[in-house]
Amino acid sequence: MSNYTDTIDFIKSQFPNKDFIPLHEPNFSGREKEYVLDTIESTFVSSVGAFVDKFEIMMAELSKTQKAVAVVNGTSALQVALRLSGVGNGDEVLTQALTFIATVNAIIYNGASPVFLDVDLDTMGLSPNAVQAFLEEFGEIRDGVCYNKKTNRKIAACMPMHTFGFPVHLDKLVEICNKWNIPVVEDAAESIGSEYKGMPTGSFGKLGVFSFNGNKIVTSGGGGAIVTNDIQLGIKAKHLTTTAKVPHPYEYVHDEIGYNFRMPNLNAALACAQLEQLNSFIQNKRNLASEYSVFFESIGVKFRTELPNTKANYWLMCIELENTKDRDSFLKETNEKKVMTRPIWQLIFKSPLYSDFQRDSQENAIYLENRIVNIPSSVRK
């Protein structure tokens, strides 16, 4: 694709009457103002309130899990979910380098180390084949616990990330991790509403995590959620994220080191109003994805679509260009024409902060990093 004028014109036609087309802007067309005003009038604007409770119930129902816990953001949710899965100081977590930095930072916050394994070209998420190959070469079971023979460290968890809302190959990944006694923590931050074989992402692992940042399909301004089918683990998550305070009408007793990761009721009010519109938002985005798919096929450019047996939320839609040169020229021209586009993230191991951790060839991740571009994906009004 050497001439981008037609593409820019087509994208602009999908978002008319806009001087600047953002990548993904929030849509507040429901009861957001009503719920937020209710919160203000109740004076319960902080970490206790009816909307926090309502949000947790809605998230458990939406994710088809037994327990959901509201927290202040997706990164905090990841940090606590890893701790609850058994990740501690000196351990290792298998994950992908093709991800947002929060995935890896959460591992470091627990005193653990990431092991970067490759992604699949079709999902852009952690590859079960890469995980299996790594474990066959480096894995060793000792007294029921998996260790890395090279580093002599416990492999305490595996954390796939559903890139841009496209589910990874969950069946095979969970099967492999179960064989090696490695709990799965799903980084479903980008995949609310996405499904794998009829079940929501976030419901397959020991724990799942969602984000409600301002650029997500539904937002609470800032917010996150931990979900699990283990009721006791969910209760523990609530305890840890509310400063590990022992319940009491007025005494302040804390029985372990916890976190002040509570989602304010004010944010939860916004989140509840947004969740009420999730299905319509996703259908709106799926319609846009369908129109993009037809257009890009007509000009010979690959538009990323969902795989069989999955339903993608199409959080950030993306095209795959021929090479890095095409990618860079497309990014430059679109942004100059006030159509916001962005490359996929720089692979995490390329940062000096994370360059010394163990990794495999990263062949697919490198291929995608050089070619994938996100295009405007907002819910159209």
CB 210 within 8 A of CB 65: no
Phi, psi of 377 (to 5 degrees): -135, 15
Pairing mode, if any, of strands 113-117 and 92-96? parallel
Reported as a pLDDT band with limits 50, 70 and 90, residue 315 is very high
Residue 381: inside a domain, yes or no? no
Residue 2's pLDDT is 56
- What would the mean pLDDT of 144-162 be, rounded to a whole number? 98
Residue 297 shares a structural domain with residue 161? no
Question: Sheet harboring 185-187: ordered strands across?
Answer: 67-71, 224-228, 207-211, 185-187
Note whether 368 and 344 are within 8 A (CB): yes
For 149, residues 6+ apart whose C-beta sits below 8 A from its C-beta are 138, 139, 140
Tokens 């947790």 correspond to what residue?
A: 56
Residue 283 sits in the same domain as residue 271: no
Beta-bridge mates of residue 92:
113, 155
- The CATH number given to whatever domain includes residue 53 is 3.40.640.10
Whether residues 21 and 47 share a domain: the answer is no
Cβ atoms of residues 297 and 178 within 8 Å: no
> What is the per-residue pLDDT for 381?
87
Residue after which a domain boundary falls, among 225, 260, 275? 275
Tens digit of each residue's pLDDT (9 = 90 or more) over 4-59: 999 999 999 999 989 999 999 999 999 999 999 999 999 999 888 999 999 999 99
> Are residues 240 and 170 part of one domain?
yes
pLDDT at 276 over 90: yes
Residues 109 and 219 in one domain: yes
Distance between CA atoms of residues 150 and 139, nearest Å: 9
Instruction: List b or e across 296-331, with b for residues whose CB sees 16 or more CB atoms inside 10 angstroms.
Output: beeeebebbebeeebbbbbbbbbbbbeeeebbeebb
252 plus 316 within the same structural domain: no
**Region 179-202 average pLDDT:** 98
The residue-averaged pLDDT of 364-372 equals 98
Domain that holds residue 336: 5-25+278-375
Q: Which residues contact 312 (CB under 8 A, 6 or more apart)?
A: 164, 165, 166, 167, 191, 194, 289, 305, 306
Tell me how many domains the chain contains.
Answer: 2
Q: Quick one: average pLDDT of 161-181? A: 98
Same domain for 85 and 100, yes or no, is yes
pLDDT at 1 over 60: no
Torsion over CA: 169, 171, 176, 182 (sign)? positive
CATH number at residue 305: 3.90.1150.10
Confidence band (pLDDT; 50, 70, 90) for 173? very high
Both structure tokens of 279: 């299905």
pLDDT in tens, 89-147: 999 999 999 999 999 999 999 999 999 999 999 999 999 999 999 999 999 999 999 99
Whether 108 is covered by a domain: the verdict is: yes
- Residue 170 placed within a domain: yes
pLDDT at 48: 87
Where does 56-204 show beta strands of DSSP type E? 67-71, 92-96, 113-117, 139-142, 145-148, 153-159, 185-187, 195-196, 199-200
